[in-house]
Structures are given as C-alpha cells and as structure tokens.
Amino acid sequence: MTWVETFWTLVKIVLMVGFLFNVGAVLTWVDRRQSAMIQDRIGPNRAVMKVFGIELRLGGLLHTAADGVKFFFKEDFMPPNADRLLFSLAPMLAMMPVLALLAVIPFGDIVDPTALWRTICIGPTGHALTFDGGQCFDAAHSVIKGAAPTLIFPAVPRFGSPLASTNPIELLVAPLDIGILYVFALAGQGIIGAAIAGWSSDNKFSLMGGLRAASQMVSYEVTMGLSLVGAMMLYGTVRLDDMVRWQGDNAWGIFAQPVAFVVFFAASVAENKRIPFDLPEAESELVSGYFTEYSGMKFGMFYFAEYMEVVSSSMLLVTIFLGGWQLPWLHRDGITIAFGTSTVFHMLMPHIWVTIFQVATFFGKVLFVCFLQAFVRWSLPRFRYDQLMKIGWRVLLPASLANIFATGTLVLAFDRAGVMAQGGMRVAADVTQALVVLGMVALVVVGIVGMAKPMKRARWIVGSSAKFAMARGGTKQAPMQA
C-alpha cells in the first residue's frame, strides 16, 4: 500500500467514524426532544451555558455534552462477586463490532482523482493544448507562447469500469469481495457482549436480560439474514457497492424487494433492542436488564452502543434498499432523465460535483432513516416477550422464506421472458425513479407547510377526575420554565 492509499484510507476512516459518533450523540438528544414533541412536553432544557451573562440552552443540545462529561466522573462500580475480566470486557464487545461494521459500507461511487480537476491551455485558435511543467505544448510538443492555462472540472463517462483509471479511490474503507457476509459475521458478535454482561454481573435481573437479549438477537438474526437472500439473488452479488450500482441502473431495492425491506427494517430494530423490541432492558420488569450493574463509562459504552447500532443499521438499510449514494437520474456523467430507450433530458456534470452530491445523498438518507427509527421508538408500545418471539418466528421468518421463493420464481420468469417484457420492466424501473423524485418533493413541501403552520393548543380532558376538576374551576398551575 502506497502512502497515497494509506492517506485516503485514513481519511475514509475518520469520515465514517466521525459521522457515526456525532450522529449517535445527536440521537440521544433527538430521543429526548422528539419524545417531548410527540407527548406535548417541554423536553430537555435544564442544561445551561452562560456567555457574558446570557443563558444559552441551545434547544437541549447541552444535555448530550453534559452526559458525555458526566460518564467520565461517575463511580466505576463493580459487584463484589462479578467476574472482573468478563464484566470489563462486555462493554467493549458490544461496541467494537459496530465500529468494525463500517469498513464495508460504501458512502460513494469510485472516484477518479485525475478527473476531479485538470489544467489545460487554450491556443490562439481556441483549440486545447497540453499543459505540462507550467508551459503549453501542441501536438508536436512545441512550446506555444501566449496560451493561457485554464482550470477545468471535467466529466467522466457513465459506462465502463472506473477502476481502469489511474489510482482510483473507492469510497469505502475495505473493499472486501465478501461484503454482506462480513456484515453477518460482525452483526452476530453483539449477542456475545449482552450475554456476557448479563452472566458476569452476579445479578438475577441482569442474567434474565442477558438471556432475553441472546434469544431475541439470535431469532431476529436468522430473519435478517434470510431477508437479504432475495436481494442477493436479484443483485447477483454480495458486495455492497455493486448492490448500490445495480439500484442506480435499475430500481431501488425498496421497489424491487418491498417485503425484504419491511422484514429487514423490523429485524434491525429488534437487533438494536429498541422499543417496541426493548425486552432485554425493560425497566418496568428488569430494572435495566443486562447492564443493571454497570455505571460510569462502562454504562456509557452500552448506552452509546445502542445509538451507534441505530446509525450502522440505517447505513445498511440505505445501502441495500434505498439506493445508497444514488439519486434519481444522477449518474457518473451527470443528469440523464430517461424512460426505457427514450432520453428526455441529458446534462453533463463535473465529476467532482457528482461525487459531492452522491456522498451528501448517502449521509442524508442515513439521517432520515435514523429519524424514522426514533419516530418508531416513541410511537409504538412494547411487546410482551412471547409476542416478540412469535413475531420473529411465526411472522417475519415465514415472510422472508416466502420472499426468497417469490424472488427466485420471478427471476427465472424474467430471464426466460421476451424482449418486450424485459423492456417493460426497464420502463417500470425508470418510473420508480420518478416516484422517488415526487416523494422527495412532497416531503419538502409538507415540511415547509408544517413549519409555517401556526401551532394550535387544545386542552384535552381525559378521565373522570379531570372532568370533576374542570367542573370546580380547574387546577392551579405553577409557571413553567420554557
């Protein structure tokens, strides 16, 4: 590995890990703030920073920073009869697989560094010349006086292998050929951390939480793996970046594999052990489950690992089912609006701008899915444990198996279909791109209208005691700090 490759690898690691840590920290604030908005409460507002006598609350964001600092100074308690080695090792086992998972997640297409920008010379007659060593040369390698060097940002061809360029940069840390198999291998390691934490704590509540976590994660790990078999059959590869390229050339996975998308999303929420699947740490039954005995930064590692899992699972969902870095009609060479063999619009774009848009698109999609998972957390009630296991084994597992059978049947049918049928599927795939564009526009419009619409507050009377209180003139309310 050359020093250039080492440099770009470090840049990619810093970018992915930095995004994971920062978004995970913000999600702790989102959970508090979003729950307050859903339940019509004030939300986090106690952490204050004074600057020149002015109190800054920053919408509760300071709570996240305060929590991070607080964990370092909390007492690191360990039960007297706990297994000291395993008790200390469990938080690391819970956190490290999430970080290692980032290695195979692509956040952009292959970049040709020689095509990001280039300096050329324009001759007196307007034709392009060669620029080398600060001078301009013609085809005969003769120096041309008076030619002005110009910086340009060229486009690259849409088709053809970008790996043929000089020193291509793949926008993922480790371009492994096993791709999704590496994800399966690491995703199962989170079970070990939860099980060891529950067993080594010398606490019955922790042991029960560890057993619940192990059985739940094993059950839903089977469903998660089978839900992706249909996607691998359709994409014809196990590399995540090749899956994204297939979606860019055809249709996003949510249209090609809708059942797998729903099953994978539900299984990923269960793997993260979040509401409505948070039975391993149900505070109404098990105090805090498998990390009841943990405090200080060890507790913080378990706590933060959950939010990191939300981000990593959102990255996988975006990569496999939501087109990864792909935007509708945006390709390596620019914008091309086409339906079947008919091209409606085509515009070349500089390679550097296409790359920036693609990277921003990937991370924007991940933020949207993270917000969606936070919304689910505060919208659904917790299942009973028997209900949770029945959903996994009796609903999601049969659905994933049925999806495999249906996918195999359809793949064989379309392989044997005629040219007209395949052309019709090509048009249908292009129509899905248009639907995505319309959906994005609708979300933007709804968001703008919702922000501009004045908030209406109405008093709801729930229960007989509230009615009696209102009949007597209401209850006195103390002034609340906004």
| Tens-place pLDDT, residues 257-285 | 899 999 999 888 888 887 788 777 766 66
The reported pLDDT for the residue numbered 146 is 60
| Mean pLDDT for all residues in the chain | 81
Residue 253 lies inside a defined structural domain of this protein: yes
Residue 35 lies inside a defined structural domain of this protein: no
Is residue 35 within 8 Å of residue 275, measured between CB atoms?
A: no
Domain co-membership, 138 together with 218:
no
pTM over 0.75: yes
Domain co-membership, 130 together with 14:
no
Which tens digit of pLDDT belongs to each residue from 352-386?
888 899 999 999 999 999 888 888 888 887 888 78
Domain that holds residue 363: 3-26+76-109+171-451
Q: How far apart are CA 434 and CA 444, in angstroms?
A: 16
Which tens digit of pLDDT belongs to each residue from 85-94?
888 888 888 8
Domain co-membership, 124 together with 215:
no
Torsion of CA 170, 174, 179, 182, to 10 degrees: -170
Number of domains making up the chain = 2
- Among 360-364, 408-412, 447-451, whose mean pLDDT is lowest? 447-451
SS3 category, 428: helix
Q: Which residues pair with 338 in a beta bridge?
A: 343
Residues composing the chain = 482
Residue 16 lies inside a defined structural domain of this protein: yes
Domain co-membership, 124 together with 256:
no
Highest mean pLDDT among 5-14, 151-160, 456-465: 5-14
Q: How far apart are CA 352 and CA 332, in angstroms?
A: 10
Domain co-membership, 131 together with 257:
no
Is residue 374 within 8 Å of residue 27, measured between CB atoms?
A: yes
Domain co-membership, 120 together with 175:
no
